[in-house]
Amino acid sequence: MTAPAFELLDVASRDHLGEGPWWDAARAELLWVDILGRRVRRATLDGAEAAEIATPSEVGFAVRDTEGRVIAGLSDGLAVCDPEVAEWTHIWRGEHDAALLRINDGKTDHDGRLWFGTMHRAETEAAGSLYSYGAGAVTTRVEAVTTSNGLGWSPDGTLFYYTDSPARTIWVFDVAADGGISNRRVFATDPEDYVPDGLTVDASGCIWAAKWQGSRVVRYSPTGQIDRVLELPVARPTSVAFAGAGLDTLVITSARMEEGDGELAGSVFLLDVGVTGLAERPADVALL
């Protein structure tokens, strides 16, 4: 395990529960959310330009669409916002009880389809699901999930990786030509000391996964073997993404939940890990 050199994203405040980093190449800015702070945040990597959009509830994820709007997973459904106007409009309301479940992590696949999941707020019941969204409706992809979390696709789009945190498991699925998933099997599991959180896939097909309460990010080979472990000075790293003009900066978000989480808890970390990532695809409005 190595303790790598890192920089901190220079923004005015740290996150309560930072999550979902997503690189917007068209605008050269990082998009991420502070779930409990109820805000979508965006900034250039040098921090020179930064802004945020308040949300009416907890916000599980945020991505751009092909029209430049921000699509976010609020506690009760999906909403869209023009960042210049900063007013949210629901495009889908979930049937779940938002007092018991909320939307958590979400991302777009290589074709611009939007995927997201729900989590049980107390994280004690497998009451959540994984969904994809299209044409104003959702398709249930995986059921009986406790905390729907990190998701990503292999470089060729034929494999899908998906996390249920309390199960301490990252799954892998086969992906069909229409984007559907099948043949779920275990990709990697974690010990009782920590749980898997957000993840990303790099250009060589390796998977990078943040470990909540584990003070680390783990890189796995495509076969599920641990390839590298990055030790971090915070207890709760939450998610990872590749950013920058060359997609060669690893971004790690973190949470500031308790006093013992570390002096830098809630910061966004920037690291050079010697590899590059995959470009994010904006949500295709034609598929929404």
Q: Which two tokens stand for residue 214?
A: 């584990």
Active site residue 109: no
In DSSP notation, 63-113 reads EEBTTS-EEEEETTEEEEE-TTT--EEEEEE-SS-TTTEEEEEEEE-TTS-
Dihedral sign, Cα of residue 70, residue 121, residue 200, residue 236 = positive
Pairing of strands 249-254, 114-120: unpaired
From the candidates 197, 248, 261, 272, give the one annotated as an active-site residue: 197
CB contact at 8 A, 150 and 168: no
Which residues are within 8 A (CB) of 238 and not within 5 positions of it... i.e. 6 or more apart?
Answer: 17, 18, 19, 197, 198, 210, 212, 253, 254, 255
List residues with catalytic annotation: 197
